[in-house]
């Protein structure tokens, strides 16, 4: 968004060969961590995100408990080796902001009222980053919550749209994010169309915003199908395993 001077579209294609409305290839795996109550590995292009969910468990310190609901916490962390220039380990302003918006993106679908005085802790680790890490983290966390058996209204799916060389495109990579004109990450409950996160870095016209929203909505449906299928596959395997 800040730097300029790179041609991001050539002969109607993006630098990585994608069309404007194309997602990067995705891979998803459920239940990859034995110690977590629920977990998920989610890959999109060069982003590799791992989510672990613990809980509902007793909330400590107790003065942070909510007598009526579970408290959902979310920690987004980018590994120092996940980016080109080593990232200084530990929390920074960016990760605090991403943790907050990601928590808020998932909280509305979790039936927190079932588990008063408890904590549901979500940890997201980025092992490799190439723009769109907050959205990759939300996709992973959403599946990890379901894997933990936490009652939810639905799964949240998430993707970014943006503008590069004057075109509205889906799912920006790092070069597009750095040299493009706008980046708009969003998260939604695809079945109802409820948007639980919407951010914008840069500028879009109203028309571009509407086109971007449509692109992101369709992409979230695609991601949702992948999330759903991965969960169904894991749990039909478990049932199959029990019969042997």
CB of 184 to ligand CDP, least distance (A): 10
For position 133 contacting ligand CDP by CB under 6 A, the verdict is yes
Q: Which residues, other chains included, contact 134 with Cβ-Cβ below 8 Å and sequence gap of 6+? A: 76, 98, 101, 102, 158, 185
**Residue reference for tokens 């086109």:** 211
Stretch that binds ligand CDP, among 67-75, 127-135, 188-196, 204-212 (CB under 6 A): 127-135
CB nearer ligand CDP, residue 71 or residue 78:
78
How far apart (Å, rounded) are the C-alpha atoms in residues 66 and 75?
A: 19
Minimum distance of ligand CDP from residue 70's CB (angstroms): 26
- Site pattern 70..99 for ligand CDP (x: CB under 6 A): -------------xx--x------x-----
Residues 180-199 binding ligand CDP (CB under 6 A) are 183, 185
Site string for ligand CDP, 146-175 (x = CB under 6 A): ----------------------------x-
Number of residues engaging ligand CDP in binding (CB under 6 A) = 14
CB 56 within 8 A of CB 120: yes
Q: How far apart are alpha carbons 218 and 198 in whole angstroms?
A: 15
Smallest gap, in angstroms, from Cβ of residue 48 to ligand CDP? 11
130 touches ligand CDP (CB under 6 A): yes
Largest pairwise CA distance in the chain: 61
221 binds ligand CDP (CB under 6 A): no
Complex with ligand CDP: residue 5 or 90, whichever CB lies closer: 90
Rounded to the nearest angstrom, the gap between the alpha carbon of residue 2 and the centroid of all alpha carbons in its chain is 23
Which listed residue (39, 77, 112, 129) binds ligand CDP by CB under 6 A? 129
Handedness of CA 228, 154, 186, 125 (dihedral sign): negative
127 sits near ligand CDP (criterion: CB under 6 A): no
Q: Element (H or E) spanning 184, and its range?
A: strand 182-189
Kindly give the interhelix angle for 206-243 and 133-147, rounded to the nearest 10 degrees. Answer: 30
- Secondary structure letter of residue 152 according to DSSP: B
User: To the nearest whole angstrom, how small is the minimum distance from the Cβ of residue 126 to ligand CDP?
Assistant: 8
Residues 6 or more apart in contact with residue 80 via CB below 8 angstroms:
86, 87, 88, 89
User: What is the SS3 assignment for 218?
Assistant: helix
Residues that bind ligand CDP (CB under 6 A): 83-84, 87, 94, 129-134, 174, 177, 183, 185
């Amino acid at each position: 968004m800040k730097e300029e001077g790179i041609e991001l579209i050539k002969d109607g294609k993006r630098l990585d060969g994608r069309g404007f409305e194309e997602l990067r290839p995705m891979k998803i795996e459920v239940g990859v961590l034995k110690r977590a109550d629920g977990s998920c590995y989610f890959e999109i292009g060069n982003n590799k995100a791992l989510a672990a969910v613990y809980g509902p468990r007793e909330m400590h310190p107790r003065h942070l408990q909510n007598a009526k609901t579970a408290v959902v916490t979310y920690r987004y962390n980018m590994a120092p080796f996940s980016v080109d220039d080593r990232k200084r380990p530990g929390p920074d302003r960016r990760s605090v902001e991403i943790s907050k918006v990601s928590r808020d993106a998932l909280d509305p679908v979790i039936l927190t009222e079932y588990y008063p005085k408890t904590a549901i802790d979500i940890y997201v680790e980025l092992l490799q980053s190439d723009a769109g890490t907050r959205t990759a983290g939300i996709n992973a966390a959403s599946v990890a919550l379901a894997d933990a058996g936490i009652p939810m209204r639905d799964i949240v799916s998430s993707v970014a749209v943006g503008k590069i060389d004057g075109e509205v495109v889906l799912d920006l990579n790092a070069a597009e994010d750095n040299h493009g004109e706008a980046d708009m990450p969003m998260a939604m409950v695809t079945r109802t169309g409820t948007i639980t996160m919407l951010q914008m870095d840069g500028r879009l016209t109203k028309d571009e915003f509407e086109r971007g929203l449509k692109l992101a909505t369709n992409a979230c449906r695609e991601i949702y199908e992948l999330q759903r299928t991965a969960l169904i596959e894991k749990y039909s395997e478990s049932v199959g395993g029990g019969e042997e």
